[in-house]
Every structure is written in C-alpha cells, then in structure tokens.
Amino acid sequence: MNDGHHHAVSACQNSPVQMGYSGRMKFPSIFIGDDDGWTGTLLGRILKLQQFDVHCVQSVNEALNVLADASFDVYLLRDRLQDGTGIELAHYLRDQGCNAPIILISGYYTQDLEPDVKALNIFRVVKEPFTAQEIWAIVSQALAEALIR
C-alpha cells in the first residue's frame, strides 16, 4: 500500500516483524533525526541493508510533522538538529507515551546531558565516530530489549 504516507509499525507495539494489512511482512521501522543529513544518509544505508524501514529528518519541526502521523520501533537521534536537539525530540516522544528505544548519537556529549539521558530512559548514547557494526549491534539490542518489555 503506497499512498504517499509513511506506514510504520507502532513504536509501542515493540514487535520486530509484523504482518502488514496486505499480508506482507513489515520489517522494523527506524526513525533517524540528523542535523546535516550526512550521518542520517549513512545510517539509513546501513540499516536498509538489514531490511529496516528507515525514515530520516533533519529538524525538530520536520520530525514533529512526521511523528504526528507515524510511530517507529527505534529512534536514532543526533544530539543536535537544525532547529533543536535530539533531547527535545526524546521529551516529545516520552510525553506522547512512546516507550520505544531511543538511541542518542553525539559528537558533543557532556555530563550535563546525563540527567536527561536517565530521565528519558535513553537506551544508549553512541559517541562519534562510530562504526556500521556498532550501530547495527546497538539497534539489534534495542529491538531485542523492546520485545521483552
């Protein structure tokens, strides 16, 4: 079903593979918030190779527009976006009742973020630089843990 809208597995269902309305398998959906697009493109390619459904945005405003109509299984958020932060998006997600894993990617991580990371139950903070294998392993762990919640 391709009507121009993104149809994702609910973030709160925490199911890694589900059957879609058409009876076809739906693979886990990953939301990427990235300020410059380069990291998001790289992450998207890595995760698409593993059969994930990936959606990338570059700003908080763009993210809020997407998240008004869709939810995802895992959220990869950069600490800085074009018009805000990944922490702001994480607050929004938790305020909406979403308990899906959130992975924060940071080139600027400081101890000042630690209270937010703990309060928002951030699954993992990944410091740049990172490898494709590291991201793949962390996303896989996040999906596995989401299943047992």
Q: Is the pTM of this model over 0.85?
A: no
Return contacts of 126-134, CB within 8 angstroms, 24+ apart. 128/39, 130/105, 132/46
Residue 20: predicted pLDDT: 40
CB atoms < 10 A from the CB of 79, how many? 20
Per-block mean pLDDT, blocks of 10 residues, the chain (149 long): 36 37 70 87 89 94 95 94 95 96 89 93 93 93 86
- Which residue type is seen at 128? E
Please state which of the four CATH numbers 3.90.740.10, 3.40.50.720, 3.40.718.10, 3.40.50.2300 is assigned to the domain occupying 24-148. 3.40.50.2300
Q: Could you state, in order of their start, the residue ranges of all structural domains in the chain?
A: 24-148
Task: Tell me the two tokens of residue 103.
Answer: 């992975």
The CA distance from 31 to 29, in Å, is 7
Instruction: Tell me what pLDDT residue 24 has.
Output: 54
Q: What is the pLDDT of residue 73?
A: 95
What contacts 98, CB < 8 A, 6 or more positions away?
11, 12, 71
